Amino acid sequence: MTVVVGLGNPLREDEGVAVRIIQELEPSFEDRPDVRLLDIGTAGMRLLDALSGADRAIIVDCARMGETPGTIVRFIPEEAASRRQGDSITPHSGDLLHLLDLARRLGQCPDNIILFGIEPLSLGYREGLSALLEERLPLYVRRVSEEIARPIP
């Protein structure tokens, strides 16, 4: 089974892009018991439950990566480096890479994990995406759909 997780806060402009991607994907996958789509918002620790029992996880999040705003980057956890200081994980937040490491240590993490980071344009306190990310939303949905369609190694 593939779990697709959207992380983010839709009240912070582009921080809500992953939530929107999950919403856009739902109609295409509602009859697919082998695919579970989850919007877990900012509830970091919920990621542990989301990963449990999955064969593959695709995690989508807004991420400052130093790319041009609107860029989507596909990578695996081993290719990423955390920019957060410390090892703080709370029920409502947590560094994604630390959470994945914790899930592995607890035996709740699939071997196959794909991450999609989307470089934000704006993280203001406003509901809705920036015009740039809204315009590129179909591209993001297509990229995640293509990833779901790949066979699980």
| CATH number of the domain bearing residue 112 | 3.40.50.1450
Residue 83 has pLDDT above 50, yes or no: no
Its pTM stands at: 0.87
Q: Indicate the range of 84-88, 131-135, 138-142 predicted with least confidence.
A: 84-88
Instruction: Check: CB of residue 22 under 8 Å from CB of residue 141.
Output: no
Number of neighbouring beta carbons within 10 Å of residue 118: 29
Residue % of the chain over a pLDDT of 70 = 89
Structural domain boundaries enclosing 144? 2-149
Whole-angstrom distance, CA of residue 119 vs CA of residue 128: 15
**Count of structural domains, the chain:** 1
Which letter does DSSP use for residue 147 in this model? Answer: H
Whole-angstrom distance, CA of residue 44 vs CA of residue 99: 8
User: For 9-22, what is each residue's pLDDT tens digit?
Assistant: 999 999 999 999 99
How much is the mean pLDDT over the chain? 87
Whole-angstrom distance, CA of residue 121 vs CA of residue 71: 10
User: For 14-44, what is each residue's pLDDT tens digit?
Assistant: 999 999 999 999 999 999 999 999 998 876 6
pLDDT at 81: 57
Q: How many residues does the chain have?
A: 153
Please, which residues bridge with residue 4 across strands? Answer: 37, 58
Beta pairing, strands 2-7 & 72-75: unpaired
pLDDT at 145: 97
